[in-house]
Amino acid sequence: MEGNADTQPANLAIRGVSLSFGGLKALTDVTFDVAPGKITAVIGPNGAGKTSLFNCISGFYKPSAGEILFRGDSINHLHAPERAKAGLARTFQNIALFRGMTVLDNIKLGRHAHMKTNVLDALWYFGRAQREELALRQEVEEKIIDFLEIEHIRDQPVASLAYGLRKRVELARALAMQPRILMLDEPVAGMNREETEDMARFILDVKEEWGVTILMVEHDMSLVMDISDHVVVLNFGEVIAEGKPADVQNNSAVITAYLGAGDVGELSRRIKGEAA
């Protein structure tokens, strides 16, 4: 990606976003930028509003106030499929794959929003439908499957795969959507150390080799501090801190939110995965 990302307009701008469910405030005046070509992580204790924020950005929830700008334009009026087509691809905290379908077919579904085939084309499978299908299969096989090192499972049903491989297939499906921004909702949740290291490598490669901007929600603090360029901290639906990982790690408000008391050493040990 050309130019200095820090001087370019934000790929995604969250401006004063609030969300309420009846009398419960899930988000209050959330504002931050997602810089192009960078990894921005949203962290916070359980119940901080991270998934609610992701649902607002991807179009599953409608904010009660505020605006979401994608590449300079408001997307508040766009529904979730339209946002996906515009370039916002997402994975989910709970894996959302079709378990009875093969890995290859699950990945190909990620391109559905971009297909131009009409019903008649698809029914008879000729002309444009056939050309699109062959081109999609070639791209998925030569680029995405090879990139994520899942050639050996491409024809297996998702239900037969280990958890870590299913998470990798979900990432592959999101990449098939040709994202401008890849939204990862807890990409390493439930993974062992080896699987986490593999996923971290893939996320970095998506940023560096594919030039995709990444917005990530994650509880694994060690991963966040290792691969993020910018960290936003939520607590009770409000942004309490943001900045570079090292700055956020030593922020007294962040330490209090996570621990209830200001013990920098204890938070550092948790981030590094050391025993208390």
Q: Does residue 264 register a pLDDT over 70?
A: no
User: Does residue 16 contact residue 32 with C-beta atoms inside 8 Å?
Assistant: no
Over the stretch 80-101, which tens digit does the pLDDT of each residue have? Answer: 989 988 899 988 876 667 778 8
Please state the rounded mean pLDDT for residues 67-75. 94
In this predicted model, which residue has the larger pLDDT, 10 or 87?
Answer: 87
Please state the rounded mean pLDDT for residues 161-181. 90
Across the chain, mean pLDDT equals 83
What the chain holds in terms of domains, given with CATH numbers, is 9-87+179-276 (3.40.50.300), 102-177 (no CATH)
Please state the rounded mean pLDDT for residues 116-140. 54
pLDDT confidence of residue 6: 46
pLDDT confidence of residue 190: 87
State which amino acid sits at residue 147.
F
